[in-house]
Structure 1
Amino acid sequence: MEWLSWFDARDYEFARQVLQRGTAALYLVAFLSTMNQFPALLGERGLLPVPAFLDMARRLARPTLFRWHYSDALLKSVCWTGIIVAALLVIGLPQTGPPWLPMLAFLILWFLYMSIVNVGQTFYGFGWEILLLEAGFTVAFLGSDQTPPPTTILILIVWLVFRLEFGAGMIKIRGGREWRDMTAMFYHHETQPMPGPLSRQAHLLPRPLHKVEVAGNHFAQLVVPFFLFAPQPLAGIAAGIIILTQLWLVGTGNFAWLNWVAIVLAFAAVSDPLAHAVFPFIPLEWHQGANTPVWWLAVVVLVTVVLLVLSYRPLLNLFSSRQLMNASFNRWRLVNAYGAFGTVTRQRIEIVVEGTLAEEPDAADEHWLEYGFKGKPGDVRRLPRQWAPYHLRLDWLMWFLPLRTVHEDWFYAFLDKLLEADKPTLGLLRHDPFDGERPRWVRARSYLYRFASRAEFRGNGERWVRVLLSDAIGPVQLSPRLNPKRRFLS
């Protein structure tokens, strides 16, 4: 039907392939990360057990599959279901069927992961959780190989990218002075939550280049997003700039799947002719269904209207003097507000956890052995690893401790688990200095960390320089019966 031609974005098939398969791949990583870490963090015997949380929050407003029952076995079933469905979407199997099939697959991923996020408490309080949920729901309505990509859904995905980028830019301009005086990147690479293998080299770049980084960030987040709505090739060029800036962040840090979601979603503004012009191996013409069924048109239009209505509050938030960051305005986690790093910390404080087998500990350092974390800095000689898009939740929460308070319930529970030599908890760590044996005491110490200069690294091989600040907690031990009560050394 000719009158439906406006609805069909036939020049965006490559974009649809990237959006569907890329989003599914990130869901696969999210479910894998959850299966490996959730039981130890939030399971039946976790640091913040979900059953206890549900007992206290019987009127939990947000939907979750675990509302009436949680078990670690059910959680693993949910994760395996998510992994299998996501893998099928990555290889493109549901996309070969009618448009409702990939829609159903993505809605399953969306609901299962939302069920996890809504009971995940502080360990799932990151902005990229709701970003992945919104992306999964929106991408669900891109249809299948039997129908052309729907224009309205592509526009809604571009609108999501706009909120993600422009919202982050506005948060920075309204935030710390360092973003306005162009000094933010003097500190960011060194103080970011989880540095990567290239973070130190990025930090040691000349300061004029760091100012170029800030200027480039402001341009990419405050100017470029408006061109995503422009005609081609401007929209595609704008998407390319966003993709390149996100790849720089991927290369210099570990921000879970935040940057990867932005990269994948930005392809919504890349047309097939532009993609083919840049990379000739990308086909210029794709096989698509001849017509869009009326029933599918009705479904997509209804979803489009709903998401546009839900966009009202996020749109106001973008220009509000009290702009919210990483906030949901409805219980379904759709059309959210985003933003990150409104301020940049100028010093890196790390909480180092140590244990000892001594009967009565003293301050002698040789009696204390340090636990090694997978991602967060600890050993001053160790090269930071690249983990993203995989999300190390415990390591991220450890970064927040000195910025808030070390006296968090989950952190005291973590110390208890170390004193019990709890295997699931130890599995979250890179190194247990006691090889599964129970320490008698543990403590948490705060250190000031900074990257070593090139001369310092050549001299002693240490990538970090650290200075002890104080004992944040401890020494502390369990009572003789290993119940949850702790005894502090007076």
Structure 2
Amino acid sequence: MGWLASPDDWLARLLVQRGVAAVYLVGFLAAARQGRALLGTHGLTPIPEFTRFVRWQRAPSLFFLHWSDRFFQAVAWSGAVVSAALMAGAADAVPLAATVPLWLLPWALYLSIVNVGQTWYGFGWESLLLEAGFLTAFLGNGDTGPPILVLYLLRWLLFRVEFGAGLIKMRGDSCWRDLTCLRYHHETQPMPGPLSWWFHRLPDPLHRVETAANHVTQLLVPPLLFFPQPVATAAAAAVIVTQLWLVLSGNFAWLNWLTIVLACAALRFGGPRHYPAAPLWFEVLTLVLTAVVAVLSWWPARNLLSHRQAMNRSFNPLHLVNTYGAFGSISRLRHEVVLQGTTAERVTPETEWREYGFPGKPGDPLRRPRQFAPYHLRLDWLLWFAALNRGYARPWLQRYAQKLLEGDRDALRLLARRGGNPFPDGPPRHVRALIYRYRFTDPATHRATGAWWDRELLGIYLPPLSRSR
């Protein structure tokens, strides 16, 4: 069976492999559906403009070798097909020697997208997927027992995700230390979900319990992942329960779901299975992988111990061993950028403006927030950042407004399917952006009006842009 195998962990391996493949599939589908509008030749931040000024060694990607919009789509859809096959168990249908390269294929394809994805792919869960996907490539298949060292490397990854997030909070905003952050967070998070209104309306003592439970799970539980069973299983279960709470309370793309998948690496239930001895080359490969990760772990480990802890940082262009963290600071106020258009020839104080609607970000106060995670609405997220700091929007918001003026099909596909485009018969003459303060309604207002949000106009974010005749 091999001295590095752990036959009791066959179900943990199965859950991790299928889960990582599922997240890959979601990531590639998002790239296929949004990539042309965001990164295409005529997109908001075109990949050809990026590769012209960045060296391949800094951001390894297939798109340095060849670029076209069709090639990008081919990469995204190929990754989706391979991911779906892996989710269905394709790696168990091929010899062990083919398993590793089969798993490394979606990793290489997704790395190619992330490394040229610029601000649209600057989220911590992109590196998390790449690191988890790389490790999963060495879990083997049904021909050999689950390699215990790789399972521990996955636990080490989960430890960094949870413990890093816990430390960044305790070192960051004071509301984490006085247990008041969740008075605001459910309302001001990037993309509230369908239950976020109710989470926000929980009594203050329950918000304090939520925050305290978060600290326990992220600071005290992670070391227990390395304890003998059944302690490790109990620790993983605590992580899973906490992540499911976060899934219910908001939309954080696949961060929570992938964290749950990683926690499965520490679960153990069911009896052992018998496996033939692993080939020597596979055991050597496992040892080499462990040594490489141990060396590369110096940088994230040092970061965890630093009082200047960085959040969501990659230390190498392959995103192999990274540091993670989220929401070190919490916004007390929610601001939203709202795009509007008009068909009027001239803009006057009496001009009638119609709003564009986006699938996930708050807009119409009467529209209930929807569930999108684990799918990632990249433009919606960046518009949340743009409301916090105009610098986030400088490279792309005006270009997006121009594309709305042109009636660009790819730009319009980023809007909500129903009612997102208020100009179905032709593009507007002018487009502008306003900045609003949004608040969840109180229960009485919600019962009386059906509105989920109150909003207050703060001013003009982007002055009107015009379409030439």
**Range of TM-score over shorter length:** over 0.9
Retained in 2: the 8 A contact 1:228–1:234?
Answer: yes
The one-letter code sitting in structure 2 at the alignment partner of 1:298 is V
Q: Secondary structure of the residue that 1:435 maps to in structure 2?
A: coil
CA RMSD of aligned residues (A): 1.2
Q: Which residue of 2 aligns with 1:95?
A: 92
Retained in 2: the 8 A contact 1:97–1:146?
Answer: no
Match of 1:264 among 258, 261, 266: 261
Q: Which residue of 2 aligns with 1:159?
A: 156
Q: Residues 402-481 of structure 1 correspond to what in structure 2 (within 5 A)?
A: 402-405=387-390, 407-430=393-416, 431-480=420-469
1:205-238, Cα deviation, whole Å (9 max, x unpaired): 0010000000000000000001000011110000
- For structure 1, which runs of at least 5 residues remain unmatched after alignment? 274-283, 481-490
- For structure 2, which runs of at least 5 residues remain unmatched after alignment? none
Query: How many angstroms apart in 2 are the aligned matches of 1:244 and 1:100?
Result: 36
Give 1:290 deviation, angstroms.
1.8
Query: How many angstroms apart in 1 are the aligned matches of 2:9 and 2:129?
Result: 22
1:418-452, Cα deviation, whole Å (9 max, x unpaired): 11111110011011000051211111000000001
Give 1:56 deviation, angstroms.
2.2
The answer on 1:232 being equivalent to 2:221 is no
Give 1:60 deviation, angstroms.
5.3
1:234-254, Cα deviation, whole Å (9 max, x unpaired): 100000000000000011110
Q: Which residue of 2 aligns with 1:486?
A: none
Give 1:77 deviation, angstroms.
1.0
Q: Residues 198-277 of structure 1 correspond to what in structure 2 (within 5 A)?
A: 198-273=195-270
Q: Residues 45-194 of structure 1 correspond to what in structure 2 (within 5 A)?
A: 45-58=42-55, 61-194=58-191
Retained in 2: the 8 A contact 1:196–1:385?
Answer: yes
Give 1:478 deviation, angstroms.
3.6
Retained in 1: the 8 A contact 2:166–2:325?
Answer: yes
Give 1:57 deviation, angstroms.
2.0
Q: Which residue of 1 aligns with 2:381?
A: 396
Q: Residues 332-371 of structure 1 correspond to what in structure 2 (within 5 A)?
A: 332-364=318-350, 367-371=352-356
Query: How many angstroms apart in 1 are the aligned matches of 2:314 and 2:395?
Result: 25
1:103-160, Cα deviation, whole Å (9 max, x unpaired): 2122111110000001100001000000000000001100010100001000000000
Question: Structure 1 residues 20 and 436, CA, compared in 2 at 3 Å: closer, same or farther?
Answer: farther
Retained in 1: the 8 A contact 2:437–2:457?
Answer: yes
Retained in 2: the 8 A contact 1:95–1:101?
Answer: no
Question: Structure 1 residues 46 and 436, CA, compared in 2 at 3 Å: closer, same or farther?
Answer: farther
1:164-190, Cα deviation, whole Å (9 max, x unpaired): 000000000011111011100000000
Q: Secondary structure of the residue that 2:346 maps to in structure 1?
A: coil
Q: Secondary structure of the residue that 1:48 maps to in structure 2?
A: coil
Query: How many angstroms apart in 1 are the aligned matches of 2:29 and 2:447?
Result: 39
Q: Which residue of 1 aligns with 2:305?
A: 319
The one-letter code sitting in structure 1 at the alignment partner of 2:448 is G
Query: How many angstroms apart in 2 are the aligned matches of 1:332 and 1:91?
Result: 27
Match of 2:294 among 296, 308, 318: 308
The answer on 1:331 being equivalent to 2:317 is yes
Q: Which residue of 2 aligns with 1:276?
A: none
**TM-score scaled by structure 1?**
0.93
The answer on 1:386 being equivalent to 2:383 is no
Query: How many angstroms apart in 2 are the aligned matches of 1:363 and 1:350?
Result: 22
Query: How many angstroms apart in 2 are the aligned matches of 1:290 and 1:50?
Result: 47
Q: Secondary structure of the residue that 1:432 maps to in structure 2?
A: coil
Q: Which residue of 2 aligns with 1:280?
A: none
Retained in 2: the 8 A contact 1:89–1:102?
Answer: no
Question: Structure 1 residues 436 and 117, CA, compared in 2 at 3 Å: closer, same or farther?
Answer: farther
Query: How many angstroms apart in 2 are the aligned matches of 1:201 and 1:169?
Result: 25
Report which stretch shifted further, 471-480 or 218-227.
471-480
Q: Secondary structure of the residue that 2:141 maps to in structure 1?
A: coil
Retained in 2: the 8 A contact 1:97–1:145?
Answer: no
Q: Secondary structure of the residue that 1:429 maps to in structure 2?
A: coil
Give aligned pairs, total.
465
Query: How many angstroms apart in 2 are the aligned matches of 1:340 and 1:45?
Result: 32
Question: Structure 1 residues 72 and 272, CA, compared in 2 at 3 Å: closer, same or farther?
Answer: same
The answer on 1:30 being equivalent to 2:27 is yes
Q: Secondary structure of the residue that 1:210 maps to in structure 2?
A: helix
Query: How many angstroms apart in 2 are the aligned matches of 1:364 and 1:299?
Result: 70
The one-letter code sitting in structure 2 at the alignment partner of 1:469 is L
Query: How many angstroms apart in 1 are the aligned matches of 2:238 and 2:162?
Result: 12
Query: How many angstroms apart in 1 are the aligned matches of 2:455 and 2:200?
Result: 16
The one-letter code sitting in structure 2 at the alignment partner of 1:396 is W
Question: Structure 1 residues 436 and 391, CA, compared in 2 at 3 Å: closer, same or farther?
Answer: farther
**TM-score scaled by structure 2?**
0.97
Q: Give the % identical residues.
A: 51
Query: How many angstroms apart in 2 are the aligned matches of 1:472 and 1:254?
Result: 25
1:36-63, Cα deviation, whole Å (9 max, x unpaired): 0000111011011111111122455121
The one-letter code sitting in structure 1 at the alignment partner of 2:353 is W
